[in-house]
Structure 1
Amino acid sequence: MFGLLILVGLSEKVLVFPYETDFSFVALIPQKEMELRAFTLCMRVATELPEERQIILFAYRTADYDELNVWREKDGRVSLSMSGDGIFFHLPPLTTFRSSLCLTWESRTGLTAFWVDGKRSTYQVYKPGHSIRPKGTVLLGQDPDKHLGGLEAMQSFVGEVTDLNMWDSVLSRSMIQAWHYGHKVLKGNIFDWSSIEYELNGNVMVVHDD
Structure 2
Amino acid sequence: HTHFLSGLLLDHSNSNILGCNPRNFQQQADDPSLYAGEDWGYLRTTAEELRQTVLQQKDQILTDQRTIRELSGKLTESEGEIHLERMMVRDSPDSAPDGVHLLTLGGTKCRFTLEEKLLHETSDGKRSAGPGRGAGPARPWGVEDLEEELERKVELLEKERKALRLEAAKHRQEIDQGISKLQHRISGLEEGVTMLSFPEGFRLSFPARTNYMFALMKHAVPKLRAFTVCLWLRPAAAGVGTPLSYAVAEQPNELVLLQDRSAPAELLINDKVAKLPLNFSRGSWQHVCVSWTQKGGAWQAYQGGKLRGEGHGLAPGHHIRPGGELVLGQEQDSLGGGFDSTQAFVGELSQVGLWDRVLSSAQVASLARCSRVTQGAVVLWSESKVQVYGGATKDPGEPCSKHSKSSQ
TM-score of the two chains, using structure 1 as the length reference: 0.88
Q: CA deviation at 1:64?
A: 2.6
RMSD over aligned CA atoms reads 2.3
Instruction: Say whether the 8 Å CA contact 2:214–2:389 is kept in structure 1.
Output: yes
Show the counterpart of 1:46. Answer: 234
The answer on whether the counterparts of 2:331 and 2:340 sit within 8 Å (CA) in structure 1 is yes
Contact 1:29-1:198 at 8 Å conserved across structures: yes
Amino acid at match of 2:270: S
**For the structure 1 residues 24 and 187, does the alpha-carbon distance in structure 2 shift closer, same or farther, using more than 3 Å as the test?**
farther
Pair 1:75-2:253 in alignment: no
1:181 to 329, 345, 369: 369
Q: What one-letter code is carried by the residue in structure 2 that aligns with 1:114?
A: A
1:196 Cα deviation (Å)?
5.8
The match for 2:274 among 87, 100, 104 is 87
Partner of 1:59: 245
Query: Does structure 2 conserve the Cα–Cα contact (< 8 Å) formed by 1:28 and 1:138?
Result: yes
* Contact 2:194/2:383, CA 8 A, preserved across alignment: no
Give the C-alpha shift of residue 109 in structure 1: 3.1
Q: Distance in 2 between matches of 1:206 and 1:148?
A: 20
2:285 aligns to what? Answer: 98
CA distance in 1, matches of 2:366, 2:328: 24
**What is the Cα deviation at residue 205 of structure 1?**
1.3
Q: Give how far 1:48 is off.
A: 1.9
Per the TM alignment, residue 144 of structure 1 is displaced from its structure 2 partner at its CA by: 1.8
1:1-210 to structure 2, matched below 5 A, reads 7=194, 12-30=201-219, 32-51=220-239, 55-65=241-251, 66-125=253-312, 126-186=314-374, 189-194=377-382, 197-209=385-397
Alignment check: 8 A CA contact 1:76 1:90 kept: no
- The share of aligned pairs that are identical, in percent, is 24
The higher-RCO structure (CA 8 Å, 6+ apart) is: 1
Distance 2:351 2:397 in 1: 10
Q: Distance in 1 between matches of 2:376 and 2:369?
A: 16
TM-score, length-scaled by structure 2: 0.47
- Residue segments in structure 2 that go unaligned for 5+ positions in a row: 1-186, 399-408
The whole-number CA distance in structure 1 between the counterparts of 2:234 and 2:281 is 6
| Structure with the greater alpha carbon radius of gyration | 2
Q: In structure 1, what is the Cα distance between the partners aligned to 2:211 and 2:284?
A: 25
Q: Deviations over 1:121-160 (max 9, x none)?
A: 2211012211111111110111121122211211111100
Between 121-130 and 98-107, the greater mean CA deviation after superposition: 121-130
Give the SS at the match of 1:121. strand
* Residue 39 (structure 1) shift: 0.5
Q: Could you tell me how far apart the structure 2 residues matched to 1:137 and 1:73 are?
A: 22
More strand by share: 1
Deviation at 1:188, TM superposition (A): 6.0
Deviations 1:44-94 (A, max 9, x none): 00112124xx61121101113121011113234110111223111221224
